[in-house]
Chains A and B, each alone.
Chain A
Amino acid sequence: MASLLDALVTGIVYGGIYALLALGLTLQYGVARILNLAYGDFLIAAAVFATLLYQRYQLSPLISLVVLLPASFVVHLLVYHLVFVQLERRRGSWRAMEASSILLAFGLSFVVSGAMLAIFGGQLFSYSYLLVPIQLFGSVVPANRLLALILALAFGAFAYLLLVRTRIGTAIRAIAVDPDGAPLAGIDVRRWAGFTFAFGGLICAATGVLISMFQTFNVPMGVTFTLKALVVVIMGGVGNAVGALFAGLILGVTESFVARFISPGLTLAAVYGLFVLAVLTMRTGIFGRALR
């Protein structure tokens, strides 16, 4: 019974993080129409920087967030305008760009992870931050995980409110549902798609820093995070923030239960089992419609 509860609590903590992980990717894919396969590598980059800042300058990850989030926003804005927009110009249209942007993002993934491998190698990164046990529903959770979960949910809620409550958020949703009609409402699609891509990059960095607070990682793990984010995005429905939250929780709890009761080696297999099930049974994710 206690181990069941432990698995559930761990699953919910990871699930909340996965939801935030997917939110950034789903914004990039749903609005900027770029399936960013380098997502996990940018996430690892943020995690590495947070670790180095902690180890070398004793900088709390909470302060790293303040530095790394705007930095990631700017880097993604540059990547969008200097790489993807140039591609769009060559291809002549959005639609033609969608396919070739996948290849470009795949290449970007190699560039980012390759550069980090060259600098840091495959060494494992970790630091102990807030390693204090906390009693929660009869289970024990380290404070760093709990803080990561709370921050993930806060970031997610903040991003969601921006999307549904502000004029710019509404414009971003309008681009997701009707990119051809948006210019007639005076919405500069390229500008706001770039903004959304960068905002997704900001969420990506936030997720990376939160993960670094409690998990050991190394550079080659980037691709695993990309894959998990993709699974959650597709299960939740592309561009659907609420869907991402639920799909993230499902994924986190499934992983945790499989690791605890079957075998830790089978967690990725379970992720893929879920993914295949989602693709076979649901055409537009668990909530059916985009961006609600």
Chain B
Amino acid sequence: MLEIRDLTVFYGLHAAIRNVSLQVAPGEIVVVLGANGAGKSTLLRATMGMVRPASGHVLLDGLDLTSLVRRNLTAQVVEQGLVLVPERGGTFTDLTVRENLLLGAFPRRARAREQELMEFALSLFPRLKERWNQRVGTMSGGEQRMVAVARALLSAPRFLLLDEPTLGLAPVLAKQLLRVLPQIAAEGIGVLLVEQNAHLSLAVAQRGAVLSNGELVHAASAAELRDDPVVRAAYLGTQ
């Protein structure tokens, strides 16, 4: 169980997120919807210890990661089994696909399962086999996203955090990318996704919530969110 409890982050005097609490179970896909500037990225970055939360806790299977998070020890958070695919990034563009995936398994904990995870990642994204020795920076946006997700999987995560993975992708590519999430969840990995694309993300998620001005509102099942008039108006473009 990944548990985010009362997480608050300030940028100067402005609260980017305030008292956000959220739980993700193993094998579950949870989506947080929100507009630009609602605090979606901040929520994920604070969970990983990339920005320092003013207060709140991050617990992973009962283990309190808060002190790692507060000291910005992101590499150790990854070592514990949380991993983030950041918005647009998550790859080393100067390195090849092979080198990126090799580094995915850099955490010591991940080495034992490297072979198995590599086969799993390549079964999700067979395209990467063809691009094996290509520099990631020379690949298309969709392929770069595949490398980023595959690299994250190689770290043997217990929970995978994804920051707007479909951003900038053509609709058909976005759909393809999100379709792999249920396969990842089926391996027992919990997925926490933040998205603006409610239509696609609610189709794969079991639960969701809306982040509005830094506060979490409307936590509900994905089906309920799809029918919620506020969500429909704001994120699905229908009345």
Given contacts A174-B95, A177-B94, contact A187 B106 (CB under 8 A): yes
Q: Say whether B90 contacts A186, CB under 8 Å.
A: no
Stretch with Cβ within 8 A of B (4 or more), from A149-157, A165-173, A279-287: A165-173
Check if A289 is an interface residue, CB within 8 A of chain B.
Answer: yes
Within 8 A of B (CB), among A109-167: 167
Partner pick for A186 among B92, B93, B95, B110, CB 8 A cutoff: B110
Scan residues 33-92 of chain B and give those whose CB is less than 8 A from a CB of chain A: 48, 50, 74-76, 78-79, 83-84, 86, 89-92
Given contacts A184-B74, A184-B86, contact A291 B104 (CB under 8 A): no
Closest to A189 in B: B75
> Which residues of chain A are near B103, meaning CB under 8 Å?
167, 170-171, 174, 185, 187
Contact code string B93-112 (vs A, CB < 8 Å = 1, else 0): 11100010011111100100
Is residue A181 contacting chain B, with contact meaning CB distance below 8 A? yes
Q: Is A85 an interface residue (CB 8 A)?
A: no
Residues of B within 8 Å of A188, CB to CB, are 75-76
- Interchain CB contact under 8 A, A185 and B94: no
State the majority secondary structure of interface residues on A: helix
Answer whether residue B144 sits at the interface, using C-beta atoms and an 8 A cutoff.
no
Instruction: Give the contacting residue for B78; candidates A186, A289, A290; CB below 8 A.
Output: A186
A203 → chain B, closest Cβ, in Å? 22
**Chain A interface category by residue count:** 10 to 19
**Closest B residue by C-beta to A292:** B94
Q: Given A170-B95, A181-B89, does the pair A186, B48 have CB atoms closer than 8 Å?
A: no
Checking B78, B92, B105 against A183 with a beta-carbon cut-off of 8 angstroms, the contacting residue is B78
Contact between B106 and A186 (Cβ–Cβ < 8 Å)? yes
Per the 8 Å Cβ criterion, residues 66-115 of A in contact with B are none
Q: When A177-B92, A177-B94, A291-B94 are in contact, do A185 and B151 touch as well, CB less than 8 Å?
A: yes
Can you list, as one digit per residue, whether each of B143-169 has a CB less than 8 Å from chain A (1) or not (0)? 000000001000100000000000000
Q: CA A185 – CA B86 in complex, angstroms? A: 11
Q: Which residues of A contact B94 (CB under 8 A)?
A: 173, 177-178, 289-291
Residues of A with C-beta under 8 A to B99: 170, 173-174
Q: Shortest CB–CB separation between residue B139 and chain A, in angstroms?
A: 16
B76 touches A185 (CB 8 A): no
B92 and A174 contacting across the interface, CB-CB below 8 Å: yes
A289: nearest residue on chain B (CB-CB)?
B94
Contacts of A182 in B (CB 8 A): 75
- Taken together as a complex, chains A and B put the C-alpha atoms of A181 and B155 apart, in Å, by 14
| C-alpha gap A189/B86 in the complex (Å) | 18
Write the nearest CB–CB distance from A116 to chain B, whole angstroms: 38
Residues from chain A with Cβ under 8 Å of B105 in the complex: 167
Interface membership of chain A positions 180-210, coded 1 if the CB is closer than 8 angstroms to chain B and 0 otherwise = 0111111111000000000000000000000
Q: With CB as the reference atom, state the residue of chain A lying closest to B74.
A: A183
Report A-chain residues with C-beta under 8 Å of the C-beta of B151. Answer: 185
**If the complex has contacts A177-B95, A291-B94, are A186 and B107 also in contact, measured as CB distance less than 8 A?**
yes
Complex-state Cα separation, A44 to B93, whole angstroms:
38
Measured CA separation A156–B104 after assembly (Å): 27
In the bound assembly, the distance between CA atoms of A185 and B78 in angstroms comes to 7
Q: Report the minimum CB–CB distance from B32 to chain A (whole Å).
A: 19
Query: Which chain A residue shows the least CB distance to B76?
Result: A188
Nearest chain B residue, comparing its CB with the CB of A191: B75
Residues of B within 8 A of A167 (CB): 102-103, 105-106
Which A residues contact B (CB, under 8 angstroms)?
Answer: 167, 170-171, 173-174, 177-178, 181-189, 289-291
Having A173-B92, A184-B89, A185-B106, one finds 7 other A-B pairs with CB under 8 Å, namely A170-B99, A170-B103, A174-B92, A181-B92, A184-B78, A186-B75, A188-B75
Q: Residues of B with Cβ closer than 8 Å to A?
A: 48, 50, 74-76, 78-79, 83-84, 86, 89-95, 99, 102-107, 110, 151, 155
The 6 lowest CB-CB distance pairs between A and B, nearest first, are: A186-B107, A183-B74, A186-B78, A188-B75, A177-B94, A183-B75
10 A-B pairs with C-beta separation under 8 A: A167-B106, A170-B102, A171-B103, A177-B94, A178-B93, A181-B89, A185-B103, A186-B79, A186-B106, A186-B110
